[in-house]
Amino acid sequence: MQVAELKLAEAIIEATRSLARSMPPPRGAPYFYLDCAAAYDLRVFDTLSARGIFRKYEFALDIGSGLGGRARWLVARSECSIVGIDPSIAAVTAARLLNRRAHMEGQVRFQVGRLDQLPLRDRVFTHVWMLDVAADSTLPALLREAFRVLRHGGHFALQCPPLPVARRDDLLATLAAIGFVEVESHEVALAEPPDSRRVAITRLQASLRSHADAESLLARLPSPPRQPTRLQIFASRLV
């Protein structure tokens, strides 16, 4: 598994290095979005950094960071520092490789850890993000951990697929019961990724087909979202 993740990271580096000679990468996306599981325009995340003041001294947590593309993009947009946590050793190893090649080690760090038992101290972060998560039975435990590591006055944001009204209301009630305040939600429309990303994914697919384990590597690439919208939820911790 770890070998496959590293092969994918190396293929992303090679494909985008070649592409960057003829096409500048999008702002905050040195790998043309290939290092992110979101197969849509990441500008939908701009609303996350609109909550609270963002400066270089702000300290954010990205829960479930994968290959790290989302964290790198958010750093470039907000200029804060970010820690990405993921339970996969393979994903964190690959994310660190991509980070070094992008020269972003100073602002983005990645760490292995269980998401329902974060290996982090209480009240460390000014912002905690959980993006593109599944709203399943494990979510309440993750929300409690997000609350625990958030500083007083800190901001929380969650993004998930749209939910039926009853399930959405249950999720908002769970956040309030944990201790979050100023809880609000809205749906956002997803937009197609930029043309540069489509060019990059075509080049990456062509490169991966030459690998002996091409089928496994190609299966790791993000697929278009099944739903054109996402539910975004915002909250704060005041005590």
Per-residue pLDDT, averaged over 67-93, amounts to: 93
Residue-wise pLDDT for 226-235, tens only, equals 899 999 999 9
Per-residue pLDDT, averaged over 105-122, amounts to: 96
Q: Cα 57 from chain centroid?
A: 20
Average pLDDT for the chain:
91
pLDDT of residue 121: 97
Per-residue pLDDT, averaged over 55-61, amounts to: 82
Picking from 40, 10, 11, the residue whose alpha carbon sits closest to that of residue 222 is 40
At residue 101, what are phi and psi to the nearest 5 degrees? -65, -30
* Topology (CATH level 3) of domain 2-237: Rossmann fold (3.40.50)
Q: Which two tokens stand for residue 199?
A: 């060019």
SS3 at position 134 = coil
Quick check: pTM over 0.85?
A: yes
pLDDT of residue 1: 44
Interior angle at CA 29, CA 27 and CA 13, nearest 5: 140
Residue-wise pLDDT for 151-207, tens only, equals 999 999 999 999 999 999 999 999 999 999 999 999 999 999 889 999 999 999 988
> Is residue 56 pLDDT above 90, yes or no?
no
Locate the domains of the chain by residue range. Answer: 2-237
Residue-wise pLDDT for 14-39, tens only, equals 999 989 999 999 888 999 999 998 98
